Chains A and B, each alone.
Chain A
């Protein structure tokens, strides 16, 4: 099955700086890569996703890049704010009609004011 690895496990940044989280996947057939943000005691919230026919996608301060050849994708958060502090999970779907997400282990992001 699909194996998603996520790094780093924790990330502390100064407010206003950028944060980058990287994930690698094992199944070259994976074609959908969402990122979720989970605040303490809440369910994961979809913040951005990318499909395999696109190399980069941006939504305000958040961007995701995908390198299919190297089988890795990254989340970039610019101009970080205290409210960006949360656990971030990357995920991948192994096959076109297999809807089961394979999650990374998560990254705890702390934005220092």
Chain B
């Protein structure tokens, strides 16, 4: 199946610093990539939709200046959490769409990044 990687898998940072998370589709070119946030024992919450070469589309309530998304190529999207605070601590997961042939794309997820802000 399609493989999506994320880096780093785990990061601990001090309050006020910025953290960048990379998401890569390893063996396919993704038409669209997504960024999710997941709190313990909860479902995935979509933060933004990212398309290569264009601005990301953010979900309601997600601050675009806080969570910067750059989609530089069809295989790489980055999420930067700017001026991180303890309430930003969470599990961040990206996904990438594997283009379908005449049908809906299939979405594959990365392994997630555990962010802890002290």
Interface size grouping (class) on chain A: 20 to 34
Interface size range on B against A: 20 to 34
Q: Which residues of B contact A103 (CB under 8 A)?
A: 43-44
With CB as the reference atom, state the residue of chain B lying closest to A101.
B107
**A11-37 interface bits toward B, Cβ cutoff 8 Å, 1 = contact, 0 = none:** 000000000000000000001101010
Give A82 Cβ to nearest chain B Cβ, in Å. 21
Instruction: Give the docked Cα–Cα distance between A93 and B107 (Å).
Output: 11
Chain A residue nearest in CB terms to B110:
A43
Known contacts A41-B114, A99-B105, A100-B49; 15 further A-B pairs (Cβ under 8 A): A32-B103, A36-B109, A41-B112, A43-B6, A43-B93, A44-B44, A44-B93, A45-B109, A46-B1, A46-B106, A46-B108, A99-B31, A101-B46, A103-B44, A105-B42
Chain B residues within 8 Å of A, Cβ to Cβ: 1, 4, 6, 31-32, 34, 42-44, 46, 49, 93, 97, 103-112, 114
